[in-house]
Amino acid sequence: EVQLVESGGGLVQPGGSLRLSCVTSGFTFSNFDIHWVRQAPGKGLEWVSGIGSAGDAYYAASVQGRFTISRENAKNTLYLQMSSLRVGDTAVYYCSYGSTTSFAFDIWGLGTMVTVSS
């Protein structure tokens, strides 16, 4: 069974840092692009960042320069290092991937909540 389990969320002050993890199982992690998508409370979905199987990373303009995505294939784990956090970064952060080349984001984790507040 495919599973994505996010962790690392919590309460952080504006300007602070946090690292999210997404531990995966049930598929060959190293073969797939994988992404972070977030959802602010009561708001819509927002793609944050993605990383290809070759390690190429790409970011939404809203987080470029502040967030860093990475992957550790030996541990089947995706990371999101978040720095210079803003109140507007408050959201549930999901990791997600497309299980075939035809799909965009069809497999999702349950998400981890990040709250940026003083």
Partner 1 sequence: QSVLTQPPSASGTPGQRVTISCSGSRSNIGSEYVYWYQQFPGTAPKMIIYRSDQRPLGVPDRFSGSKSGTSASLAISGLRSEDEADYYCTTWDASLGAWVFGGGTKLTVL
Q: What dihedral angle (degrees, nearest 10) is formed by the CA atoms of 84, 89, 94, 95? A: -30
Q: How many CB atoms lie within 10 A of CB 12?
A: 18
Q: Pick between residue 16 and residue 115 the one whose CB is nearest to partner 1.
A: 115
Could you list the beta-strand ranges (E) of the chain.
Answer: 3-7, 10-12, 18-25, 34-39, 45-51, 57-59, 67-72, 77-82, 91-97, 107-108, 112-116
Stretch that binds partner 1, among 9-17, 23-31, 77-85, 95-103 (CB under 8 A): 95-103
Is residue 102 involved in binding partner 1 (CB under 8 A)?
yes
Q: Pick between residue 24 and residue 109 the one whose CB is nearest to partner 1.
A: 109
Q: Pick between residue 16 and residue 27 the one whose CB is nearest to partner 1.
A: 27
Is residue 60 involved in binding partner 1 (CB under 8 A)?
yes
**Interface residue list for partner 1 (CB under 8 A):** 35, 44-47, 50, 58-61, 94, 96, 102-106, 108-111
